[in-house]
Amino acid sequence: MNTETGVGGLETTGVPEFSGDMFGSSGSELDAAASVLSKEEGKDSLLYYQTYRVKQGDMIGIIADEYGVTQDTIISVNGIRQSRLLQVGQYLKIPSMPGILYTVKADGETSETIAEKYEVSADKCAKVNSLKKDAPLDAGLTLFVPDAQLDWVTRQEINGDLFIRPIKSRYWLSSYYGWRESPFTGQRSFHTGIDMACPLGTSVYAALAGQVSSTGYNETYGNYIIVSHHSGYKTLYGHLSAILVVRGQNVDTTTRIGRVGNTGLSTGPHLHFTVFKSGKTVNPLGLLK
C-alpha cells in the first residue's frame, strides 16, 4: 500500500480513519446502539427507529423535516462525519423523536447530570432510557438524550461550514482526496488531500483561524506550512513558491500565509491542501464552505 510521506509530525501512512464509510458507524454498530434505548409505551417515551434510504438530491435537513426530527438527530444517530457527502443508496436510521446519542464519559454520571449539560428535561431523559434520574451510569454506556443538540463547533465541521477555501481566486481541482493512480509511479496510492490548480504566485490563505505550528521543506510537499486549529484540526498547505508566515504566528482567514508554487513532487503550479483531525486525514471537500 502506497501513501504520501508524513510531514511536520503528522503521519499520512495507512488508509485514513474516515476514508471509507462517511457515516462512521456500521449498521451493526447502530443496531447495538439502538438496542440500549428504551421502547417504552407512551407519547414522550416511545422511542423506535425507522430506516430511510437516501435518494438523489436528498439533504439531511429535508429528511429531518419529513420525519419531525432535527438535522443534529440524524447526524448523531448515524455517526455522520461530513453531511455534504451523503451517498445515494445509503441507509439512515431515523428515531421517532428529536435528540442525540450520548456516550457516558466517566463512571458516576447520571441521566440528570447529562440532561443538565444539554439543558433538556431530566425526567424525559430518564424515562426514554428506562433509568432513574439519579442512578449512576457506567462509562461507555450510550443514551439517547431527547431534544438535545450538537455543540456549535461539531455542527459547523460536519455541515462543512467550519473552513474557508484557502484559494480565494479562480482554481480547478486537479486531484481529489482518495485512491488514485500516482502521476509519478503509476501505482495505486492514497492522495491525502485535494490539489487546487491555479497560476504560480496565487495567494494562499489560512482556511481557519489558528497558529502556525510548522513550516519547512519536504521532498513530497516541497515548501509547506502546517497550521494548528481548535478541536484537534490541523491544515497543511504544500508545493508553495513562498512562505509568508513563521512558526508560532497566529493567523486567521484573512491572513495570506503563502503563494502557490510547484515545489516538491508536483506536476505543475497548484496548492496541495490536507486537513487532519486528531492526526488522521479527512476529506477537505466535506468541510469547506
pLDDT tens for residues 125-134? 999 999 999 9
Q: What is the mean pLDDT of residues 70-81?
A: 93
> Does 272 have pLDDT greater than 60?
yes
71 three-class SS: helix
- Homologous superfamily (CATH) of 2-17+162-286 is Glucose Permease (Domain IIA) (2.70.70.10)
Tell me what percent of the residues of the chain surpass a pLDDT of 70: 84
Q: What is the pLDDT of residue 119?
A: 95
Of the ranges 12-21, 22-31, 57-66, 276-285, which one carries the lowest mean pLDDT score? 12-21
> How many CB atoms neighbour CB 157 within 10 A?
23
Q: Where in the chain is the domain with CATH 2.70.70.10?
A: 2-17+162-286
Q: What is the pLDDT of residue 41?
A: 35
CA pair distance 132, 83, nearest whole angstrom: 35
Q: What is the pLDDT of residue 7?
A: 53
Q: What is the pLDDT of residue 216?
A: 97
- Residue 145: name the closest of 72, 40, 81 by CA: 72
Q: What is the mean pLDDT of residues 158-162?
A: 74
Q: Where in the chain is the domain with CATH 3.10.350.10?
A: 27-158
237 three-class SS: strand
Q: Exposed/middle/buried for 10, CB within 10 Å: 0-12, 13-18, 19+?
A: middle
Q: Which of 78-82, 181-185, 272-276 has the highest mean pLDDT?
A: 272-276
Cβ neighbours for 21, distance < 8 A, ≥ 6 positions apart: none
Which CATH code is given to the segment(s) 27-158?
3.10.350.10
**Between 68 and 40, where is the model more confident?**
68
Q: How many residues does the chain have?
A: 289
Q: What is the pLDDT of residue 107?
A: 92
Tell me what percent of the residues of the chain surpass a pLDDT of 90: 68
C-alpha cell at 26: 456500521
Specify whether the CB–CB gap between 5 and 12 falls below 8 A: yes
